[in-house]
Amino acid sequence: MANWNERFKDKKYVYGTEPNVFLKDMYTALSGEVLTIAEGEGRNAVFLARQGLNVTAWDYAESGLEKVSKLAAKQGVRVSTELVDLAEAEWQQNQWDGIVNVFGHFPGEVRKKTLSGVKEAVRPGGYFIAEVYSHNQIPYQSGGPKELDFLYRPEDFLEEFSDWRIVHFFLGEVIRNEGELHNGLSHVIQFVGQKPQ
């Protein structure tokens, strides 16, 4: 945790201030109350707030959440922020119309708990949108964790959300240029799922 707090203390936005490209393509599925998890410095939460959504951002780095609020103020929108460690998160049933995870990476047990929490917390008819690094990312050197346990496999999504309507699923290469830390050819998983009504 300390290293993220340190990383985000820099005035510079290490992942930039522009939203993730995949989220920009897919956000129109979202409405109402949206939660972004492992939000970092706020680029995606602020983008969604600019589209008129009520956005709450969770992260466990206080310095990141401070930057979320600054970016929101600068762009004339409001994002609620909550200091949440996903290892200890309390997920409320049917709380959110949509949940977004862009490059939020956690150890295997926390990942499992988080995806299961997401499944509970999305309201019927709501959506979960994710773009994350796949287990094939390590040799790519374009960003993301260097430990396999922090990377996603297709079955993480396809098994947990097997009873949802899968709107979009992709495993493969994309180019990402997001600030200093995500640059170049990357191997990702993209997922958009809708909870049954």
Q: Quick: pLDDT tens for 89-115.
A: 999 999 999 999 999 999 999 999 999
Q: What's the predicted TM-score (pTM) here?
A: 0.95
Q: What are phi and psi of 99, to 5 degrees?
A: -130, 140
- The first and second tokens of residue 14, run together, are 């290490």
Please give the Cα distance from 125 to 197 (Å, whole number).
Answer: 5
User: How far does Cα 98 stand from its chain's mean position?
Assistant: 11
Please give the Cα distance from 64 to 71 (Å, whole number).
Answer: 11
The H or E element spanning position 37 is strand 33-37
Tell me the pLDDT tens digit for each residue of 46-91: 999 999 999 999 999 999 999 999 999 999 999 999 999 999 999 9
CB 111 within 8 A of CB 152: yes
User: How far does Cα 68 stand from its chain's mean position?
Assistant: 14
The CATH fold of domain 2-194: Rossmann fold (3.40.50)
CA angle 74, 75, 78 (to 5 degrees): 95
Tell me the pLDDT tens digit for each residue of 114-142: 999 999 999 999 999 999 999 999 999 99
CB 15 within 8 A of CB 181: yes
> What DSSP assignment string belongs to 103-120?
S----HHHHHHHHHHHHH
- The model's confidence at residue 5, banded by pLDDT at 50, 70 and 90, is low
Closest C-alpha among 95, 111, 100 to residue 145: 111
